[in-house]
């Protein structure tokens, strides 16, 4: 064990996307929108929607099973399960406990709330637990069933989001590959520009909260857009600084997938070729905490990330929160 602690690597990745597809043309029949508006303003063509009765733990456990298979580990090898979600099965118990039970794992389990930055936040917690020597194998899941929390009559939000889950097994390693650095940021003064107001202790469920549609996601889109671009650039630069690397060293940037125009603006600010950025927003929309991990999974699977690649994950979301991870794959 060095002064930096144990090395930490991603030993397996998994993803699960529900079958049902909702296209922009489908949305044209539901609200006053067009495929053209959605594609030019967001880059999104379609998104997937969970089946009736499918909860965040149902999606998450499928992603987790694949990640465990790829890590060649069994549920009983896990020391901890961390689930990032803003659409938990229930307020409590945690979605992580449901996943622990469904997997048949025997370890601690808890949820983390950092909205779209949730997976990247959870990865940094897993990194710290393993680096300290406390645990050897941790399952980190990002899973969302946002379709249950969207106002399907509000065209300014309902076209943006989709359902899905991704998972990573994070393990102690010794081959020089793995997580180099992590970085977290937040600004609660802007909590009101992206939130789901009711259902918690500030606005407990009532006839009034239901009537005022306070159980649905609310967003001031153009405000969020500006902060997203600024903080994603910041988070990439900060994590590179911690790892003594520069933007030119990045082989693949895996950003949170909210809007194609945000990704183009981040690319311009960082002066990184757009080809180095992995983009799948056109197929899934914004899956909040599942977006970054599903993109990471697909980038590895497609060969865009190869052994030795320097990878940066970067996310931004409600809170506000932002986070990044620098990985030597
Ligand atoms: O994951 C968490 C982070 N979330 C994000 O990063 C989302 C960030 N924000 C965005 O991606 C963009 O701000 C949006 C895609 C949400 C909106 O794009 P915009 O270019 O900022 O549009 P806008 O909100 O300024 O709206 C422009 C116009 C408005 O009409 P008027 O007032 O100009 O007549 C809207 O009413 O577009 C209208 N509009 C729509 N029109 C057709 C809004 N939604 C739609 C729609 N279809 N679905």
Task: Tell me the angle at which helices 221-242 and 260-270 cross, rounded to the nearest 10 degrees.
Answer: 40
Instruction: Report the nearest-CA residue for atom 39 of ligand 1.
Output: 156
Residue 2 CB neighbours (<10 A): 7
Q: The tokens of 318 are what?
A: 């409600």
pLDDT digits (tens, 9 = 90+) for 242-278: 999 999 999 999 999 999 999 999 999 999 999 999 9
d(C-alpha 12, C-alpha 59), whole Å: 17
Rounded Cα–Cα distance for residues 24 and 45 (Å): 6
Whether ligand 1 lies within 6 angstroms of the CB of 262 is answered as: yes
Q: Answer yes or no: is the C-beta of 110 below 6 A from any ligand 1 atom.
A: no
Q: Confirm if 140 and 290 have CB atoms less than 8 A apart.
A: no
Ligand 1 centroid distance, CA of 328 (Å): 36
Output the residue whose Cα is nearest ligand 1's atom 20: 41
Instruction: Give the strand pairing for 46-48 and 80-84.
Output: unpaired
Same fold, 7-176 and 180-328: yes
Q: Is the pLDDT of residue 59 over 70?
A: yes
Residue 268 CB: number of other CB atoms within 10 A? 12
Q: Which numeric CATH code is attached to 180-328? A: 3.40.47.10
**Which single residue is written with the structure tokens 């999606």?**
59
The verdict on domain 7-176 having CATH code 3.40.47.10 is yes
Taking the CB of residue 124, how many other CB atoms lie within 10 A of it?
Answer: 22
- Percentage of the chain with pLDDT > 90? 98
> Is ligand 1 within 6 A of the CB of residue 203?
no
The ligand 1 atom nearest the CA atom of 155 = 48
C-alpha to C-alpha distance for 85 and 289, rounded to whole angstroms: 6
Interhelix angle 35-42/260-270, rounded to 10 degrees, is 20
Q: What is the pLDDT of residues 144-174, one digit of tens each?
A: 999 999 999 999 999 999 999 999 999 999 9
Q: Using the mean position of ligand 1's atoms as its centre, give its distance from the Cα of residue 258 in Å.
A: 12
Listing DSSP states for 127-148 in one string gives HHHHHTTS-SEEEEEEEE-GGG
Dihedral Cα 125, 128, 132, 133, nearest 10 deg: 60
**Ligand 1 centroid from CA 3, angstroms:** 48
Q: Is 70 a catalytic residue?
A: no
Residue 300, phi then psi, degrees to nearest 5? -70, -45
Q: What is the pTM of this model?
A: 0.97
* Distance from Cα 80 to the centre of ligand 1, integer Å: 39
User: Ligand 1 in contact with 281 (CB < 6 A)?
Assistant: no
In this predicted structure, the answer to whether residue 312 has a pLDDT above a threshold of 90 is yes
Please report, for the chain, the start and end positions of each structural domain, with discontinuous segments joined by +.
7-176, 180-328
Cα(165) to centroid(ligand 1), Å: 25
Nearest CA to 266 out of 221, 306, 232, 223 is that of 232
Task: Return the SS3 of 91.
Answer: coil
Q: What's the N-to-C CA distance of the chain in angstroms? A: 20
Ligand 1 pocket, residue 162 CB under 6 Å:
no
pLDDT in tens, 205-248: 999 999 999 999 999 999 999 999 999 999 999 999 999 999 99
Distance CA 161, CA 228 (A): 16
* pLDDT at 11 (0 to 100): 97
Which listed residue (158, 256, 259, 328) is catalytic? 256
Residue 23's pLDDT is: 98
| 114 touches 319 (CB < 8 A) | yes
Task: Determine whether 286 is an active site residue.
Answer: yes
Question: Scanning the structure block, which residue is given the tokens 């939130």?
Answer: 195
């Amino acid at each position: 064990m060095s002064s930096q602690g144990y090395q930490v690597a991603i030993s397996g990745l998994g993803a699960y996307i529900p079958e049902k597809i909702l296209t922009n043309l489908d949305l044209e029949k539901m609200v006053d929108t067009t495929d053209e508006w959605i594609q030019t303003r967001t880059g999104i063509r379609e998104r997937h929607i969970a089946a009736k009765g499918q909860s965040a733990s149902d999606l998450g456990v499928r992603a987790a099973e694949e990640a465990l298979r790829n890590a060649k580990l069994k549920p009983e090898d896990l020391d901890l399960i961390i689930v990032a979600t803003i659409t938990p099965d229930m307020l409590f118990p945690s979605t992580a406990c449901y996943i622990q039970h469904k997997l048949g794992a025997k370890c601690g389990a808890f949820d983390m709330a950092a909205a779209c930055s949730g997976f990247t936040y959870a990865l940094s917690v897993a990194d710290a637990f393993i680096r300290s020597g406390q645990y050897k194998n941790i399952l980190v899941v990002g899973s969302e069933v946002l379709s249950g929390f969207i106002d399907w009559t509000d065209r300014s939000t309902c076209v943006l989001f989709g359902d899905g889950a991704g998972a990573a097994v994070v393990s102690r390693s010794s081959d020089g590959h793995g997580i180099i650095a992590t970085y977290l940021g937040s600004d609660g003064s802007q909590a009101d520009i992206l939130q789901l107001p009711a259902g918690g202790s500030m606005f407990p469920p009532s006839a009034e909260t239901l009537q005022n549609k306070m159980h649905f996601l609310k967003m001031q889109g153009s405000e969020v857009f500006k902060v997203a671009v600024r903080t994603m650039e910041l988070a990439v630069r900060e994590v590179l600084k911690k790892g003594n690397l520069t933007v030119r060293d990045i082989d693949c940037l895996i950003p949170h997938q909210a809007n194609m125009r945000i990704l183009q603006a981040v690319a311009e600010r960082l002066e990184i070729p757009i080809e180095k950025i992995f983009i799948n927003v056109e197929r899934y929309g914004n899956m909040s905490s599942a977006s970054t991990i599903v993109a990471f999974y697909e980038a590895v699977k497609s060969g865009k990330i190869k052994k030795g690649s320097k990878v940066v994950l970067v996310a931004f979301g409600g809170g506000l929160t932002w986070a990044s991870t620098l990985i030597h794959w």
